[in-house]
Amino acid sequence: MIRLLVFFYFALNSVCFSEEIITLRVSSYLSPLSHSVKSIYEPWMDSVVKASNSRIKFKVYWGGSLGRNPYKQFDLVKAGVTEIGLVQPSYTPGQFPQMQVFELPFLMRSSTEASLVAWELFNRGMLRGFDEVKLLGLWTAEPSNLFTKNGIKSYNDIKGLKIRSVGRLEGDFLKKLNAVPEALHPSDAVEALRRGTLDAAIQGWIALNTFQTYRETDHVITAPLGTVSFALMMNKETWNSIPDDLKEIINNTSGEKIALIGGEAYDRRQKEISDKLRLQKHLTFEDAGSKKIEEMKEYIAPIEQAWVARTHDGYETLSMVKEILKEIRGR
Residue 1 belongs to a domain: no
Judge whether 175 and 267 are in contact, CB under 8 Å.
no
CATH number at residue 212: 3.40.190.170
pLDDT tens sequence across 290-324: 777 888 888 899 999 999 999 999 999 999 999 99
Give CA–CA dist 52/245, Å, rounded: 9
Element (H, E) at 13: helix 2-18
Residue 204 belongs to a domain: yes
Judge whether 80 and 237 are in contact, CB under 8 Å.
yes
Same domain for 124 and 196 = no
Same domain for 150 and 255 = no
Same domain for 213 and 114 = no
Residue 206 belongs to a domain: yes
Judge whether 74 and 87 are in contact, CB under 8 Å.
yes
> Domain total for the chain?
2
Same domain for 256 and 315 = no
Domain ranges, residue 33: 22-93+109-140+229-269
Residue of 58, 61, 64, 31 whose CA lies nearest to 44: 58
Same domain for 216 and 157 = yes
Say how far residue 3 (Cα) sits from the centre of its chain: 57
Strand ranges in the chain using DSSP code E only, listed in sequence order: 22-27, 56-61, 84-87, 133-140, 145-148, 162-165, 180-183, 200-203, 219-221, 229-235, 284-286
**Residue 110 φ then ψ, to 5°:** -150, 165
pLDDT tens sequence across 64-116: 999 999 889 999 999 999 999 999 998 888 899 999 999 999 999 999 999 99
Same domain for 244 and 302 = no
